[in-house]
Structure 1
Amino acid sequence: MKIQEIREIIKLVDGSSIEEFSYEFEGVKVKMKKSGSGNAQQAGSSSVQAPQTPKTVGPPSFSAPAKEPNAEELVSQEAPEVLVDNDSEYHKILSPMVGTFYESPSPDEAPYVQTGTKVTADQVVCIVEAMKLFNEIEAEVDGEIAEILVKDGQLVEYGQPLFLVKAN
């Protein structure tokens, strides 16, 4: 788990009504509990405090579950239909955060990529918006877009596959 991903989780927890959050994936454990001041902090010997941000009016981007989530509950329940027969030969571009998937830089512009588009490792393939921040997602490998697994405007989860790329 990357530090950027941990920071995103801290921001989401801090901006929500969740009092306590824990997550375990591939041997990495993250546990946060809000202190009395409303800041999220990581439990353990060292603590990380997220800066307190002003509340904005509008629908919340993250809702609190009734109980503490486990790893299975954090994974999206809606798996996209994969049309490619053998995806083991394909590189999956995964969402680095929870947010909204956008295929183009603005609604009136063409998508960054389409099925069959040749891409380079540092080429932007989409945007994932989280907490009013637009994060450009890069292809990570040189190759060809084999399949787009999500629709424009769809909410995506952390680690959810967005694209399949046939690597060169």
Structure 2
Amino acid sequence: MDIKQVQELIRFVSKSGVNEVSIEEKDFKITIKTNQAPTYVNATIPAPVAAAPQAQPASVVPSAPAEPKVTIAEAEDSSKYMTVKSPMIGTFYRTAGPDKPPFVNVGDEVKAGQVVCIIEAMKLFNEIESEVSGRIVKVLVENSSPVEYDQPLFLVEPA
């Protein structure tokens, strides 16, 4: 797979709404994962491969500047809002169970210390509490999605 094919694949994945694509060929493996805004490219190339294919990850990096633009736009929009962030790596859940209602929805009033979601990490379900009182403006993560440490989960308009 050459660099143009990798770039086309990245564009296709970002437009299609697919969360993850993995391709394994004889010489290499590439995994592209997406969440709402960020696009992650993970390319593994075996050591015996010539120097030209090793340039692929460096060439793929220029597609990443789209991520900071989104982050900057969100930062400008969220300047008047407080952000509830993930305190750990895990899987984000908006509900306590499949047949349960979400802890909070957009427009709901929350108080400091109120549970807003659950993050599962290593088979432990951790209740995440709001650090501020206010109104939920936006839910930034899809239900059952993986989250990173310090990743924004909710935007809250302070009361």
Bin the TM-score by the shorter chain.
0.5 to 0.7
Percent identical residues: 51
Name the residue aligned to 1:134: 125
Name the residue aligned to 1:95: 86
Task: Give SS of 1:96's match.
Answer: coil
Name the residue aligned to 1:148: 139
Name the residue aligned to 1:108: 99
Extract structure 1 runs of 4+ deviating beyond 4 A.
81-85
Name the residue aligned to 1:39: none
Q: 2:150 aligns with which of 144, 155, 159?
A: 159
Matched length: 92
**Pairwise CA RMSD:** 2.0
State TM-score, norm by structure 1. Answer: 0.51
State TM-score, norm by structure 2. Answer: 0.54
Task: Give SS of 2:143's match.
Answer: coil
Task: Give SS of 2:79's match.
Answer: helix
Structure 2 CA distance for aligned equivalents of residues 126 and 164 of structure 1: 13
Which of these two proteins has the greater Rg computed from alpha carbons? 2
Task: Give SS of 1:164's match.
Answer: strand
- Deviation at residue 158 of structure 1 after TM alignment: 0.4
Change (3 A) 1:108 1:79: closer
Change (3 A) 1:122 1:143: same
More helix by percentage: 2
Q: 2:110 aligns with which of 112, 119, 127?
A: 119
| Structure 1 residue ranges without an equivalent (≥5) | 1-76
| Structure 2 residue ranges without an equivalent (≥5) | 1-32, 38-69
